[in-house]
Amino acid sequence: MNLHLNLILESEKRSGASIRVWFLVRLVLILVPAVLLLYSAYLAYQMITLRKETDHFRELIAARQEQMTLSAQIAKQKKTYEDMLSQIHDWAASRLPVADRLDAFRLTVPLDIQLTSLRLTRTIRYTNSMPVAIYALQIRGKTRGEESELTVDQFLTRLRQTPGLASDLESAQVPPGAFLQDREPGAHPLDRVFLLECLFKPLGRTTP
């Protein structure tokens, strides 16, 4: 029969583990704050350095203020000159070379037709907020003979086909009711008067 006699008090009992809880608590309470303190010191140092760098850059910027102002003024001046140039280019681009068109037009008039008036007008129309020039030509004339309608048709065809004119024309027509008998006193019964309307293609920049 074995007799087990326990002579150790409860308070004298020790853990079998190699690391004690109390030791761990002390270690954490010293180590973690120490690490945090070191990290805080590093952060503070970094902040001071960053502020110094920021101030340095600000000083450099302030020292270049005059050059910056000059650069901004030159850029603004360049933009203004570009706008001025663009406006004058746009204006020139909306011009119809009238002399060339009239010269080309002269060759289209058949011998049987006598022109009584010619009127060219220019209007401005806005396309995509861009001003474009529209030229319209109104021609009044007289012709005689039983085939005067054919003569006017021939005139119209020539207008639409003449190089230097045809490419610029958007439309050319004798409006309804614009081919009439001449009612002037002393006019021959076969005398006819007509009105011919030509519209030129828009001139000018149409895209911004």
Residues 121-150 that bind other proteins (CB under 8 A): 121-126, 129-131, 133
What residues numbered 18-57 form the site for other proteins, per CB under 8 A? 22, 25-26, 28-29, 32-33, 36-37, 39-40, 43-44, 46-47, 50-51, 53-54, 57
DSSP calls for 177-194: T-EEE--STT--TTEEEE
User: Residues in contact with other proteins, total (CB under 8 A)?
Assistant: 78
Options 113-121, 165-173, 175-183, 193-201: segment touching other proteins (CB under 8 A): 113-121
CA distance to 117, 171, 195, per residue, from 205 (Å)? 31, 20, 31
How far apart, in Å, do the first and last CA atoms of the chain sit? 114
Element (H, E) at 124: strand 113-127
201 binds other proteins (CB under 8 A): no
129: left (phi over 0), alpha (psi -120 to 50) or beta: left
- Closer Cβ to other proteins, 98 or 180, answer by number: 98
61 binds other proteins (CB under 8 A): yes
What residues numbered 68-87 form the site for other proteins, per CB under 8 A? 68, 70-71, 73-78, 80-87
What residues numbered 84-103 form the site for other proteins, per CB under 8 A? 84-92, 94-100, 102-103
Label residues 102-113 b or e (16+ Cβ within 10 Å = b). Answer: eebbeebeeebb
What tokens appear for 199 in the block?
A: 């519209």
107 binds other proteins (CB under 8 A): no
